[in-house]
Amino acid sequence: MKVRVLSIPVQNQDKALKFYTEILGFIKKLDIPLTEDNRWLTVVSKEQLDGPEVLLEPAPKDFEPAKIYQNALFNAGIPCVQFDVESVQAEYDRLTKLNVDFTVRPTDMGAARIAVFNDTCGNLIQIAQLI
């Protein structure tokens, strides 16, 4: 088995696409209309163009249980996904300059350094680096 697509629930696909590409630096891979308001919209890491795709899933706007789950994770301070980075501190510095709101500043957790930020689309995202 391989990971091909992972889903991140987003409240607004256009806003999410802008954040994930313009702020985080991902690249749009697929944008296929499904209904009038929903798309199969994926982004990939510019460092792994053929790697796993992140589906910017519009479920919270159309499926109430997804919205409840997303809100519960966010309110509990639990990230919905983790992205690995070479340097948490460097990404923290870069993203804070772009006005990204961090809920957890760079913190050492045993063999890893982590930080958590708000993706502006209803999720907390954790970045991590092995140290």
The CATH number of the domain holding residue 71 is 3.10.180.10
Pairing state of beta strands 81-84 and 124-130? parallel
Domain that holds residue 34: 5-130
**Number of separate domains in the chain:** 1
74 burial via Cβ count (<10 Å: 0-12, 13-18, 19+): middle
pTM value is 0.94
70-125 per-position pLDDT tens digit: 999 999 999 999 999 999 999 999 999 999 999 999 999 999 999 999 999 999 99
User: Above pLDDT 70, what percent of the chain?
Assistant: 100
Instruction: Collect all residues with Cβ–Cβ distance below 8 Å to 129 and sequence separation of at least 6.
Output: 84, 85, 86, 87, 88, 112, 113, 114
> How far are the Cα atoms of 15, 20, 98 from residue 121, in angstroms, in the given order?
7, 10, 16
> Based on the number of CB atoms within 10 Å of its own CB, is 49 exposed (0-12), middle (13-18) or buried (19 or more)?
exposed
Q: What is the pLDDT of residue 9?
A: 96
Cα of 79 vs its chain's centroid, Å: 9
Q: Is the pLDDT of residue 20 over 90?
A: yes
Mean pLDDT over residues 42-55, rounded?
96
pLDDT at 106: 98
Mean pLDDT along residues 29-50: 95
